[in-house]
Structure formats: structure tokens, C-alpha cells
Amino acid sequence: MTKTVLVTGGTGLVGKALETVIKERNTSDVWYFAGSKDGDLTVLTETKALYEKVKPTHVIHLAAMVGGLFYNMNNNLDFLRKNLQINDNVLQTAFEHGCVKVVSCLSTCIFPDKTTYPIDETMVHNGPPHDSNFGYSYAKRLIDVQNRAYFEKNGSVFTSVIPCNIFGPHDNFKPEVSHVIPGMIYRMHKLINEDTATKEEDKVFTVFGSGKPLRQFIYSLDLAKLMLWVLEDYDKVDPIILSVDESDEVTILQVAASIAKAFNFKGKIVCDTSKADGQYKKTASNKKLRTLKPDFKFSNFEESINTSVKWFIENYETARK
């Protein structure tokens, strides 16, 4: 069966990675990568118009209001309302159009703040998420609730993936909304290139917070490959965590050191402990993924950081910043 796949939020980090991976495949499927120019998904009429235009048989739902720690902390209401509107419009319209499958993208931040580790797919609703991003987290959790409700009432195969922190080419580097890796890449580039009066050995790169929080990071092209597998071969409504192994977890300070190495930065790295750390850890188990797809090989973290930094430098003028 030839698929027509609508990718909402298709011009962002994961959408661009999907586009790259698909170009490497020999497929007769039709892919439409929708961006903001294609319609405001918080508006039902515009969402319906997009579906009428594309006529998808399958949907990969990436569109969301997103942002880093500090942007989330100050805008929880907006994150809640806008993402609830987007998700309801996308899923209901997919149902009305008879879409065979919808794969939505969640986040590990939806898991309870107070929990045991590692977290797994059964623990999503076991308690409140971290206070810093509760608006975004609850909106994303409710996709899982909606998926179950659509299946219970209509048998719809609507499912979701839960990736760990994503990074790679085409990321959003805007300081006020970026996540940790693109945010650091942007600030490192600015420090190196804009302060020409100071010797590089005397420059200081500041890590926001203590640098101690632990995170797992997945390269966007790895995530794209796994999402295609979910679209084609994973037929459960229950969500699945798409994450690197627990042993690949790194501290925020280690991330800063890897970015500094990619830039060949000669200065010092310091931590500003007056800034919030957010959640200390959210270690995720990929046991379910490893059971179903045991041979998948994740990209090397350092090499992926190097590729991401190189892409940003080469595409500085057009990158989102």
C-alpha cells in the first residue's frame, strides 16, 4: 500500500531529519512536510483545510509549542492551552479523514518528577511532572490518553513515541526558546566570534546551573529512523520510549565540554549556580525498544555534536536563531 504521510511540524528539527532519511530510501510513498505557512494548527478550520489538501493516510504529529527550561517556566499556561488545541485538532481531524495510523511525538519531561529510575512506558501517569514545565508536560501526556480513547471507541491505531532530548542539524538555536544543546552551540559561537578584543584563552563560557543534571540525548537522524520503524512496524497504542541506553547518560557539564571541543574552544568553562537546574535526572529505559529492535545502532555522541556544530557554522545565516 502506498502511503501519503502528513508530517505536522515538518520543517523543524525532527521533520528535517525525517526528510533526510526518506531521501536516502527508495520509496513510492508521498510525504508532505507541513510548516506554519501551511496553517495554524490551533485553529480547527485551518487544520481541516490542511488535511483536505494533503489527504493523508498516515500522520506523524510533531507540531507543538516548544521551548527550553526557562521559557517553559515563564509560560506554562500558553504551553498547556496551545498544545491541547493543536493535539485535539490534529487527532480528531485524522480520525475524521480515516487515517490508518497516527504517530505523535511526546517527551521524557512528561514523566513524574518524583519517581524511581529508570523510567519506563508504564510510569507516564504515576504522579505530577516537574513544576518547571507542567503545562507542556500535561498537554503531551493527554495525547496518550486521547490515543487510548480513540482506540477504545473506534479501534484507531493512534500511538506515540517518547524520545529523550533531541539534537542535530536544523535545530532551533533562538536563545529564549532553545533547548540545552542548541542553546550552548549558539552562545559558544557568539562568544568566540563576537568578542574579538579578548584572547580566546581568557574567554569564559558559562553553563547555566550547576552542570550536574544528567540527560540522555538522541541524534535527530537516529530518531527519524526509529520513527519510520514505528510508523511501519509498531502497531501498539501504548507509547514506546525512543532513547539511547542508560549508560549513554551525560551531565550538562559534559555536554558543554563536548561542544567546546567541537569548536576547538581554548577558554574556560564555569557554572553559574544562581541559575535553575530543572529536573536533576529523568533516566529512561529503552528496554522495550531493545526487545523489539535489538540491532539498532545509535550514533556516537561526540561525532553527532561535531556534525551539529559544523552544520550551525556552515548554515549560520539561515539557521533559526
Identity of the residue numbered 22: I
Identity of the residue numbered 265: F
- Residues 71, 136, 219, 234: which is the catalytic one? 136
Residue 67 to residue 71: CA distance in whole angstroms: 6
Q: In what order do the strands lie in the sheet with 30-33?
A: 30-33, 4-8, 58-61, 101-105, 157-163, 240-242
Residue 206 to residue 215: CA distance in whole angstroms: 18
Asked about 32 being catalytic, the answer comes back as no
Residue whose entry in the numeric block shows the C-alpha cell 533562538? 174
Query: What are the backbone angles phi and psi of residue 106, rounded to the nearest 5°?
Result: -100, -150
Q: Which helix (H) or strand (E) holds 241?
A: strand 240-242
DSSP alpha helix (H) spans, 58-179: 69-74, 76-96, 134-154
Phi-psi region of 83 (alpha: psi -120 to 50; beta: other; left: phi over 0): alpha
Give the catalytic positions in this structure: 136
